Amino acid sequence: MQRRRFLGLTAAGAATAALAPALTACGSEASGATTLKLVAADYGDKPGNSSKKYWDALAREFHEKNSKIKVDVEVYSWNEVDKKVAEMVAAGKAPDLAQIGAYADFAAAGKLYSAEQLLTVPTQADLIASIAKAGEVNRVQYGLPFVGSTRLLFCNKTLFAQAGIAKPPESWDELKAAATKLQSVKGVKMPFGLPLGPEEAPAETMLWMLSGGGGYTDHNGSYTIDSSDNVRTFEWLRDEFVGKGLTGSGDPARTNRQDVFDAFCRGEVGMLHGHPTLMQQATAKGVKYMTAPLPGVKGKAKSTMGVADWMMAFKQNGNREQIGLFLDFVYSTKNVLDFTGQYDLLPVTSSASAQMLGDAKHKDLRQFLEQLENATFYPADKTSWAKVSKDLKEKIGSVVKKGGDPASVLSEIKRDADSQEIAAR
């Protein structure tokens, strides 16, 4: 969801990582039974709702139905799970399954099974097409979407009323006007929360690019990071938003997404870009909010960002059949809904999505679900994306500071991205 990604490793996850016994590389036992190793990301923000509980219960239920297959699970925070998997693979100890943020590097290196090699036809066909396509490298699907999310503009209703703002802004002019009014409301530390810090800078960057009519790539998949639309967007942010104090007194380059979410839940932020999980967090703190499509230059943005987190299966241990059985179980409608419902995320299968749309208890998610089919996703199919994401985390915050140079920084990131693409051919 960036990815999607909350707090540090929970106590439960840390204990599990520290105490879990080392598994053999092959995952097979003398009795003919097989032990699959799954490394997964933690979507919880405290030990009580750690994803470890979900996966352990799912693994037990699967083992009861498939007595010769066990699944051992290690769960890490989003701050470290991708690195952990990369280290395992580099050491020649790849897990059988990884549920993390990116797959393209592993696919390009020939380390992954394709979806066709793993899933039954009904399971593969049930994946929402637009998201499944984002899991392709050279038109072969290696990344299996696990959960999805889209982004909307969140507004604090109480602060809007105090500022005399009648409705959510639809254009940049209205956005700036609303933020200016919020600036004078007592207790507002950030009229608009702008998290360009290392936690999720690529997501915030993409949201602003889309609202300005740009994006990371064009329709052919070529990088357009330094397009005139994108440069204009960050010049506007630098001069008309950050430069006028409308994002608060802090440095956006050092501001992380969860910090802004926490401040919104304390009633200190007027507006921000948010995903479905923020609804749960805000409601728990008694914050009254409303959501709306992203404001664009002259009106509502044509697209919002869609995020998918990925499941992938490594070839190293040769457990293709057992992995496939487990994944068919993971992607059953019930199990998909159990996970997404717990964290207010979006299903990636048509069956679960249809069921969620028809369930009154998930009515707040409908606005996010309705955008999923036409959302714009990260270029996660590119082997260069991991490097681009890293560059954005390190550099994009500088462009909105006084004297920042969006054209130069965006051009530098694009040159590096293109070089990575050429080197990978």
Over the stretch 263-315, which tens digit does the pLDDT of each residue have?
999 999 999 999 988 998 999 999 999 999 999 999 999 999 998 999 999 99
The runs of H, that is alpha helices, within 318-373 are: 320-330, 333-343, 350-357, 366-372
Tokens of 181: 């009014």
- For residue 13, is pLDDT > 70? no
Quick one: DSSP state of residue 294? P
Lowest model confidence (mean pLDDT) among 13-27, 109-123, 188-202, 240-254? 13-27
Quick one: DSSP state of residue 402? T
Total domains in the chain come to: 2
Task: Decide which of 92 and 2 is more confident.
Answer: 92
Q: In percent, how much of the chain has pLDDT > 70?
A: 93
Q: What is the mean pLDDT of residues 200-215?
A: 96
pLDDT number for residue 3: 35
Q: Is residue 298 part of a domain?
A: yes
Check whether residue 265 and residue 355 sit in a common domain: no
Check whether residue 343 and residue 234 sit in a common domain: no
CB 220: neighbour CB atoms within 10 A?
6
- For residue 4, is pLDDT > 80? no
pLDDT number for residue 424: 74
- For residue 419, is pLDDT > 90? yes
Lowest model confidence (mean pLDDT) among 12-26, 50-64, 79-93? 12-26
The runs of H, that is alpha helices, within 347-384 are: 350-357, 366-372
Check whether residue 219 and residue 314 sit in a common domain: no
Q: pLDDT tens digit string along 386-407?
A: 889 999 999 999 999 999 999 9
Q: Is residue 409 part of a domain?
A: yes
The SS3 call for residue 307 is strand
Rounded to whole angstroms, the Cα distance separating 145 from 141 reads 10
Tokens of 108: 């390009």
Check whether residue 296 and residue 199 sit in a common domain: yes
- For residue 100, is pLDDT > 60? yes
Rounded to whole angstroms, the Cα distance separating 263 from 188 reads 10
Q: What Cα–Cα distance (Å) separates residue 377 from each residue in 78, 145, 366, 381?
A: 19, 12, 19, 10
CATH number at residue 87: 3.40.190.10
The runs of H, that is alpha helices, within 164-212 are: 172-183, 201-211
Residue recorded with tokens 């066709």: 116
pLDDT number for residue 37: 98
| Boundary (domain end) residue, out of 348, 372, 396 | 372
Check whether residue 120 and residue 178 sit in a common domain: no
Rounded to whole angstroms, the Cα distance separating 406 from 402 reads 11
Task: Give the residue from 139, 264, 273 showing the smallest Cα distance to 196.
Answer: 273
Buried b (16+ CB within 10 A) or exposed e, 347-369: bbbebbbebbeeeeebeebeebb
Rounded to whole angstroms, the Cα distance separating 182 from 193 reads 12
Rounded to whole angstroms, the Cα distance separating 74 from 21 reads 10
Q: With bands split at pLDDT 50, 70 and 90, how would you rate the model's confidence at 383?
A: confident
The runs of H, that is alpha helices, within 66-195 are: 81-90, 104-108, 115-118, 121-126, 129-133, 157-163, 172-183
Check whether residue 298 and residue 341 sit in a common domain: no
**How high is the mean pLDDT of the chain?**
90
Rounded to whole angstroms, the Cα distance separating 327 from 99 reads 11
Q: Is residue 222 part of a domain?
A: yes
pLDDT number for residue 334: 97
Q: Is residue 377 part of a domain?
A: no
3-state helix, strand, coil in the chain (%, to 5): 45, 15, 35
Amino acid at 228: S
Rounded to whole angstroms, the Cα distance separating 158 from 167 reads 12
- For residue 139, is pLDDT > 60? yes
Buried b (16+ CB within 10 A) or exposed e, 249-287: ebbbbebbbbbbbbbbbebbbbbbbbbbbbbebbeeeeb
Q: pLDDT tens digit string along 218-265?
A: 988 899 999 999 999 999 999 999 999 999 999 999 999 989 999 999
Q: Is residue 172 part of a domain?
A: yes
Check whether residue 230 and residue 177 sit in a common domain: yes
Check whether residue 230 and residue 323 sit in a common domain: no
Q: What is the mean pLDDT of residues 344-348?
A: 92
Check whether residue 270 and residue 405 sit in a common domain: yes
Q: Is residue 86 part of a domain?
A: yes
Check whether residue 282 and residue 321 sit in a common domain: no
Q: In percent, how much of the chain has pLDDT > 90?
A: 76
Beta strand 376-377 pairing with 305-313: parallel
Q: With bands split at pLDDT 50, 70 and 90, how would you rate the model's confidence at 374?
A: confident
Q: Is residue 280 part of a domain?
A: yes
- For residue 15, is pLDDT > 90? no
Check whether residue 54 and residue 104 sit in a common domain: yes
- For residue 21, is pLDDT > 80? no
Buried b (16+ CB within 10 A) or exposed e, 192-202: bbbbbbbbbbb
Check whether residue 168 and residue 44 sit in a common domain: no
List, as one string, the DSSP characters of 282-316.
HHHTT--EEEEPPBBSSSB-S--EEEEEEEEEBST
Q: What range defines the domain where residue 200 resides?
A: 152-303+382-424
Q: With bands split at pLDDT 50, 70 and 90, how would you rate the model's confidence at 373?
A: confident
pLDDT number for residue 371: 85
Q: Is residue 6 part of a domain?
A: no
Rounded to whole angstroms, the Cα distance separating 289 from 156 reads 5
Q: With bands split at pLDDT 50, 70 and 90, how would you rate the model's confidence at 31?
A: low
Lowest model confidence (mean pLDDT) among 18-27, 72-81, 85-94, 408-417? 18-27
Q: Residue 298 burial by CB count (10 A; 0-12/13-18/19+): exposed, middle or buried?
A: exposed
